[in-house]
Amino acid sequence: MIQDIEPKRLCNQYQLPKQNRNDYIAVFSGNQILIKETNGRLELPKRADMEAAGCALHADTYLFCIDDDRYFLCSEDAEEWKTGNKVDISNDRAAAADFRRISMRQFREEADHELCFAVYTAYHLYQWYKNNRFCGCCGSRTVPDKKERMLFCAKCGNQIYPSIAPAVIAAVTNGDSILLTKYANREYKRYALIAGFTEIGETAEDTVRREVMEETGIRVKNIRYYKSQPWGIDGNLLLGYFAELDGSDRISIDENELSCAEWVRRDQLKDMDDSFSLTREMMRVFYEKYDSV
């Protein structure tokens, strides 16, 4: 999955390191990322690349490291970022330096595994910083704490930590068939598993029961935890579960959520070559008849 970068290791401990020219800079603007292409391979620009292109870095924020590679965050958004922490990149300078801006969806399709994980994780923090520029209690501007990953309101003392939204992925099986769905009114058109956010007061298993019932009218039993996955592009921690049909296999879809839902036989499963997502791995595990299913 996207987080499986062994033998390399992500270290997300907060620190305030001295900057150097080999630091990678993640530059976001809305849902776009600035990338550099070298011999057909996508890369994040390094600080040295930005300086050579004449791009003005007005401070930046340390994110994490992967082994010895350090990642910092900047933004091209003038008002969507905290004061002074931005980068100025003209289109001419970007083109001259072989930089280009692409959507996060296009990035996922073109980037290698490790870089995709780094950028998704960086995007999670970018959204958190951007959405918490002001205190939700008193409206004052927040400032970064110097000891931990936290935004602080000096006026009222409010402390804001990175937000992570737990959600479940549910693979519902019925003998040699699995329940697959397609989302309604979304860009993503491939088959998916039932998914949904955990609500207040619920266990993850409660969420599985509720989401499957709400979206398809199906009851489930024998719910078993499989694996988890950070999914930074949406700020989620995904929890994967297998479950079995309990009772009638008649499907009644919620058309606000799904365009279709159907039982698909094991030998009919396709499009499982995407190794990034928990959904695809769970579909592949079912297809390969692992004992854990």
Residues 169, 238 contacting (CB under 8 angstroms): yes
Residues 123, 71 contacting (CB under 8 angstroms): no
Residue 5 domain-assigned (yes or no): no
Query: Residue 143 is part of which domain span?
Result: 137-162
How far is 254 from 145, CA to CA, in rounded Å?
A: 44
What's the pLDDT at 113? 87
Residue 3 domain-assigned (yes or no): no
Alpha-carbon distances, residue 230 vs 65, 164, 258, 259 (angstroms): 16, 9, 24, 26
Give the domain CATH number at 41.
3.90.79
> Is 194 in the same domain as 239?
yes
> Is 143 in the same domain as 193?
no
DSSP state of 266: G
* Count of domains for the chain: 3
Beta bridge partners of 243: 172
Residue 280 domain-assigned (yes or no): yes
Model confidence pLDDT, tens digit, residues 276-289: 899 999 999 999 87
**Is 90 exceeded by the pLDDT of residue 161?**
yes
Model confidence pLDDT, tens digit, residues 222-240: 999 999 999 998 999 999 9
Band (pLDDT 50/70/90 cuts) for residue 170 is very high
> Is 117 in the same domain as 215?
no
Predicted TM-score (pTM) of the model is 0.88
**Is 90 exceeded by the pLDDT of residue 8?**
yes
Instruction: Please provide the DSSP assignment of 88-132 as one string.
Output: E--HHHHHHTTEEEEEHHHHHHHS-HHHHHHHHHHHHHHHHHHHT
Beta bridge partners of 57: 87
How does strand 24-29 pair with strand 69-75? parallel
Model confidence pLDDT, tens digit, residues 112-140: 889 999 999 999 999 999 999 999 999 99
Give the domain CATH number at 245.
3.90.79.10
